[in-house]
Amino acid sequence: MPDTTARALALLNLLQTHRHWTGPELADRLGVSRRTVRRDVERLRDLGYRIESVPGMAGGYRLEPGGVMPPLLLTDEEAVAMAAGLRLAATRQLTDGADTTIRALAKLERVLPAALRERVNALAAAVRPAGTGPGSGVSPAVLTELALACRDHERVRFAHVSRPGPSSRQVEPHHLAPSERHWYLLCWDLDRDGWRTFRIDRIAGVRRTGAFFEPRPLSHRQVAEFVAVASSWGKQATDATATMRMPIERLRDLFGEWAQGAEPGDAGTTVWPVGGADFRDTMYALSWIPAGVAYTVDLPDPARSELREALGRMLRALETPPEAP
């Protein structure tokens, strides 16, 4: 790549599209020597880009937020408007454009100086899309950090707030997906050794670990089903748990993505959360427990009494011979 300007722009594009590059990787991508890479990095620094150098075998280069806005052919006002617009778009369900929006937002916010980022925060907080309530918002900072971690295959830690109480999670993030009014993170939970789906508005304090991982195979159908299961849970009018005499590994084999939320119990049992709009949803879920598997159900009244009465009527109907025509 003989043209110095074209090579510098190619280098900048690589730095913007990946969190960390080693010197040999950049040299190989650009078809130049490592010494030329170092010179081009210095040229970009002279233009206002803050590029961090890490020495050593595992070292390399990464693009960091600068003290001033680098020359992206955008004024400060244009950069603020673009970032705020991308944030608002990212909190909505998009068709075929969710990943593109998140990548563009992550790339832009990587180079926004602190003063401009504060203006973006203020503008995005003041403008809320129609149809979203105060509790349905997603932190753009959290969304951006998770997007970068998914892209770079980097393990992260975060605090997750749920009804049982807050918990600390260490995960391998794989996908961000919108569903209705919420964003979900599909990840491999290292502490629980299984797939988990978290609503992003319940995630806080995302921290990078610096540990990278090889993504586990996952089809588009599996991603869609994981998100469908997670979005169908939410706040239910009727909550129940079924404790089955079945190891959790067997449950996962049989139920697949619908085993989300199941936890191992005592003596080889598995506790599986079920619920729905009323007792009928609970009854339907329980009907999928395999034949021959003993189980108990924790279902509070009045749903418990309603389910017992409905099952009693069904049994009487089955035991009563049909009337002759």
Percent of the chain with pLDDT over 70: 73
DSSP conformational letter for 111: S
Question: Sign of the CA dihedral 253, 255, 259, 263?
Answer: negative
Res 55: pLDDT: 76
Q: How many domains does the chain have?
A: 4
Give SS3 for 141.
Answer: helix
Inter-residue contact 252 to 246 (CB < 8 Å): no
Would you place residue 56 in the very low, low, confident or very high pLDDT band (cuts 50, 70, 90)? Answer: low
pLDDT digits (tens, 9 = 90+) for 135-166: 445 676 787 788 778 878 899 999 988 655 67
Query: Does a structural domain hold residue 37?
Result: yes
Res 158: pLDDT: 95
Query: Does a structural domain hold residue 155?
Result: yes
CATH number at residue 159: 2.30.30
Question: Sign of the CA dihedral 35, 39, 41, 42?
Answer: positive
pLDDT digits (tens, 9 = 90+) for 66-104: 655 555 546 677 677 777 677 666 655 443 445 666 667
Mean pLDDT of the chain: 77
Between CA 307 and CA 176 the distance in angstroms is 37
Percent of the chain with pLDDT over 90: 9
DSSP conformational letter for 66: -
Torsion of CA 247, 252, 255, 259, to 10 degrees: 100
Query: Does a structural domain hold residue 227?
Result: no
- Is pLDDT at 231 greater than 70 in this prediction? no
Torsion of CA 278, 284, 288, 289, to 10 degrees: 50
Torsion of CA 257, 263, 264, 265, to 10 degrees: -140
Query: Does a structural domain hold residue 70?
Result: no
- Of 189, 219, 249, the one marking the end of a domain is 219
Res 155: pLDDT: 94
Give 16: exposed, middle or buried? Use CB within 10 Å, 0-12, 13-18, 19+.
middle
Inter-residue contact 52 to 64 (CB < 8 Å): yes
One domain for residues 249 and 307: yes
Query: Does a structural domain hold residue 228?
Result: no
| Across 160-173, average pLDDT | 81
Give the full edge-to-edge strand order of the sheet including 295-298.
Answer: 263-264, 270-276, 238-244, 295-298
One domain for residues 80 and 118: yes
Torsion of CA 213, 111, 118, 97, to 10 degrees: -60
One domain for residues 145 and 189: yes
What range does the domain containing 248 cover? 235-319
Res 131: pLDDT: 42
Distance of CA 8 to the CA centre of its chain: 33
- Of 12, 30, 64, the one marking the end of a domain is 64
| Across 211-235, average pLDDT | 76
Res 239: pLDDT: 73
